[in-house]
Structure 1
């Protein structure tokens, strides 16, 4: 019988408020309903988790904090990376406890579209001693983003993405879904992502959480306002655009 039989092989089983370092509920970002929900109730995680919600709802705050609690750099990178240009992350991560699956890998990588330019510069200044790295700045934003995903998201690990659609076209989003699907098929990888993209939210097998004033609740893809609004717009764009004049 394999040594890991009976155990989940992806990295994180649950994320919850730290029992010995509670965050005051009147302190930001605990004033955000989704953050308060996480601190009060915890969150069980499966192989793939997608957070969707409006700007400012707290979904990126959650992804960032989970990444930091796991040991990832807030501006992108692997476990133990020290890339930082201007610290803007919340202290939420320091008040979270990561419950890991027994025997699972501790590898991981965090990518957020808004900090990619600075992160590419960091990689250029800290090249691998074992191989020649990709010249990311010589590629388009979307091309370099997918290049980095394909190059770094390999094998078992925790792969976090914060609004990756900011860097990607429709075909680029499809390509990313393909990469993430192959990683999840291994049974040893875990994906946590925030997105405004109905295409990325359709990642097969993902648990989708709507993030908002109510806190967190699961939803099916076809019932997401994100999906319904795009469907309505594409069916009759003039109904929306006429109100902008």
Structure 2
């Protein structure tokens, strides 16, 4: 899919940034950023809390034309203006082809997306309703996980650019495994994913690029080299010993 890659990477316009002492430019992943190259299929942002994964993904989404709170390219609403100004200093390195579909799916503001769909479908308009492309059932009438899953399974149509922010927050381990299968189906339909995640299950997608955001900046790594994998492996290999140290010292 190399020739169909929609976003090849990003460049930070460092010379235009007024100060690296202020948010979000003081974040390690931003402060030390020049360029990042993405995989044509799946790229993961991983790292500890506070490293700037979601902030960076949000800026890429806005620069690509998405609403800061999520949704497709056509969503245009604002519940609370809390996004950073980082997108003004991000240069997207685009591929030759434009995506035919796209979605920014973030757990943090997914409720707001569901509410906007309800508002749009209350307005007089010809069929089909907006919710029909999400499975036909009100997202507010489903659990958070089920509505998130319904969006992922029904609304992602292929030949698109999809940005996901911590999707594991709404999904069980079984659903995370199922997500891998559907990601692969969409990749085979010329789709590209950029995903911020803490989940070793999700970041196990074969041949994906894993970019770990650290105090030193961003570095490419493997699943087995991430702290997420090490901690989970240590826990399941000898949880009693780990819990003993945690709870008795």
- CA gap of 1:208–1:92, structure 2 versus 1, over 3 A, is same
Name the structure 2 match of 1:172.
175
Name the structure 1 match of 2:128.
131
Equivalent-residue separation in structure 2 for 1:27 and 1:174 (angstroms): 39
The correspondence for 2:5, drawn from 10, 24, 27, is 10
Deviation string, structure 1 residues 117-154 (Cα, Å, up to 9, x no partner): 22211111113743242311111211111100112211
Contact 1:53 1:59 in 2 (8 A): yes
Greater shift after overlay, 104-113 or 142-151? 104-113
| Deviation for aligned residue 1:209 | 0.8
* Correspondence 1:182 to 2:156: no
Contact 1:16 1:98 in 2 (8 A): yes
TM-score, normalised with respect to structure 2: 0.88
The correspondence for 2:46, drawn from 49, 52, 67, is 52
Mapping of 1:185-196 within 5 angstroms? 185-186=188-189, 188-196=190-198
Name the structure 1 match of 2:158.
155
Corresponding pairs, count: 237
Deviation string, structure 1 residues 186-235 (Cα, Å, up to 9, x no partner): 2x211000111000011122100111101000111112111111011012
For structure 2, list consecutive stretches of 5 or more residues without a partner in the other structure.
Answer: none
Equivalent-residue separation in structure 2 for 1:160 and 1:92 (angstroms): 16
* Correspondence 1:122 to 2:116: yes
Equivalent-residue separation in structure 2 for 1:65 and 1:151 (angstroms): 25
| Deviation for aligned residue 1:49 | 0.7
Question: 3-state SS of the aligned residue for 1:111?
Answer: strand
TM-score, normalised with respect to structure 1: 0.90
Equivalent-residue separation in structure 2 for 1:171 and 1:198 (angstroms): 13
Question: 3-state SS of the aligned residue for 2:163?
Answer: strand
Name the structure 2 match of 1:26.
21
Equivalent-residue separation in structure 2 for 1:129 and 1:213 (angstroms): 51
Contact 2:11 2:92 in 1 (8 A): yes
For structure 1, list consecutive stretches of 5 or more residues without a partner in the other structure.
Answer: 1-5
Contact 2:101 2:158 in 1 (8 A): no
| Deviation for aligned residue 1:25 | 2.1
The correspondence for 1:86, drawn from 66, 80, 84, is 80
Equivalent-residue separation in structure 2 for 1:161 and 1:225 (angstroms): 21
Equivalent-residue separation in structure 2 for 1:244 and 1:91 (angstroms): 42
